[in-house]
């Protein structure tokens, strides 16, 4: 897709506990989480209360935040990646003329909905996504019940970027040097709403140790 991985790469985060966080190279530019999608009363109640709070009180969303919604089924991993990289373009290298280079140039002034429609009509990213799916080791069916979201720190605030939600979620102040720790605070909140579930995966986008 065009992301240069010689300086920054993706690392598994084994736990939200301090011993695991200390193993991740720094700085961390973003965090991606895979979690199970469920509709229990507790999860539904939290989601509805969060939406009402934003509608009633509003929230600050930085003009510099890159966010695209998701309208394509089973593309949440691609959407999370686009949101993650789109918010750290000042720190990473995207190869000139590559798909990502052209994508961000074309969508920089679009709304989240317009970006989603652009992706929906983009045959090139569909082909990239299909190739990646075929190369993967996990069988992909239609009944996908897990979902990827991204956590990004932009202008001093931590945002949850979920393409299925109506808007980004501002989770409050975030020190750019503590993106992983602040993201894991929010991830623990996800876990607390489904305490018996083990299918949480955390991935940090971080600087390689030898760079």
The residues annotated with a catalytic role in the active site are: 76, 147
- Helical spans, DSSP H, in the chain: 18-21, 41-57, 76-86, 99-107, 112-121, 123-135, 179-192
Whole-angstrom distance, CA of residue 110 vs CA of residue 115: 6
Return the closest-CA partner of residue 16 out of 209, 185, 205. Answer: 185
Return the closest-CA partner of residue 81 out of 114, 125, 141, 16. Answer: 125
Half-sphere exposure of 153 (CA within 13 A, CB side): 22
Token pair for residue 169?
């979620």
> Can you give the C-alpha Rg of the chain in angstroms?
17
**167 vs 66, 102, 110, 126, 200, CA distance in Å?**
11, 24, 14, 24, 23
- Helical spans, DSSP H, in 108-178: 112-121, 123-135
How many CB atoms neighbour CB 157 within 10 A?
A: 19
């Amino acid at each position: 897709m065009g992301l240069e991985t010689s300086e920054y790469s993706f690392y598994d985060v084994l736990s939200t506990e301090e011993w695991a966080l200390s193993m991740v190279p720094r700085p961390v530019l973003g965090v991606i989480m895979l979690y199970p999608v469920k509709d229990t009363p507790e999860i539904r109640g939290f989601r509805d209360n969060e939406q009402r709070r934003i509608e009633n009180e509003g929230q600050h969303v930085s003009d510099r935040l890159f966010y695209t919604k998701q309208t394509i089924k089973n593309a949440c991993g691609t959407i999370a990646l686009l949101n993650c990289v789109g918010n750290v373009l000042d720190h990473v290298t995207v190869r000139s003329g590559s798909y990502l280079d052209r994508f961000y140039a074309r969508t920089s002034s679009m709304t989240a909905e317009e970006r989603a429609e652009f992706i929906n009509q983009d045959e090139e990213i569909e082909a990239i996504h299909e190739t990646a799916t075929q190369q993967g080791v996990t069988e992909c069916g239609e009944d996908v019940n897990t979902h990827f979201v991204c956590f990004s720190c932009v202008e001093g605030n931590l945002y949850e970027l979920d393409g299925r939600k109506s808007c980004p979620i501002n989770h409050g102040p975030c020190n750019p040097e503590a993106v992983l720790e602040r993201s894991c605070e929010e991830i623990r909140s996800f876990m607390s709403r489904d305490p018996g579930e083990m299918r949480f995966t955390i991935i940090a986008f971080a600087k390689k140790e030898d760079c």
